[in-house]
Amino acid sequence: MAIDIMCAMMALYGFYLGYSRGIIKTVFTVLSIFFGVVAAAKFGPAMTEFLQSAFNYYNPLMFVAGLMLAFILTMALIRLLANGLEGILETANINFINQTLGGAVLSLALVAVFSLLVLFGDRAHIIDRQTKQDSVTYPILEKMPDKLLQVGKLVRPVFTDFWNYSVDFMDRLERMNNMETTESDNIFDIEEDDNDNDRYNTNNR
């Protein structure tokens, strides 16, 4: 019975959070974090150069500032889009669908987290056999971690591809910076050689 009460509390709390935020804001919050990280990796160096040029301040910490600014701007843009979609739903008087779906999704998410805690308690022998037998929700909670593991295996290739792309992008970015540095050094060497030749010709005259 104790497991059922705690499960019900988690489900109700999740529904309350999701209902108050709505499915759009809930999903877009996750998306804003995900795309914020991608944008920070992709546009962070360019944003760093912009900040250095704008403030004429060249400090290694400007790279951190560039990453944070790219991350925050991306999150703000996506959340602005989410607010616009919510406004459309409210105008159409169907925002309750958005809120109900948000409640259902977060409720399920918190119950899934609770199932992991139940699994830990079972493996650690914290939950006795009688408590499991008296619980109505335990048979369902017992199967959820395996379901989550299956979903994780399906989603894993997506995150693996994203990780590989991020590493490849950073490698390409490093090579580009090395090429630009080499070209700049060559330009300065040519200018110095020209200046030396001019001075040599002037002295000979």
The answer to whether position 67 is within a domain reads yes
Cβ proximity of 95 and 20 under 8 Å: no
Tell me, yes or no, whether 120 lies in a domain: yes
In a domain, 143, yes or no: yes
What pTM, to 2 d.p., does this model score?
A: 0.54
Which portions of the chain are predicted below pLDDT 70?
90, 92-93, 155, 158-159, 162-205
Domain encompassing residue 136: 1-161
Q: Is residue 125 part of a domain?
A: yes
Whole-angstrom distance, CA of residue 193 vs CA of residue 205: 19
In a domain, 198, yes or no: no
Contacts 24+ apart (CB under 8 A), 81-89: 81/28, 82/24, 82/25, 82/28, 82/29, 82/32, 83/25, 85/24, 86/22, 86/24, 86/25, 89/24
- Does a structural domain hold residue 87? yes
Q: Which amino acid is at 72?
A: I
**Total number of domains in the chain:** 1
205 lies in some domain:
no
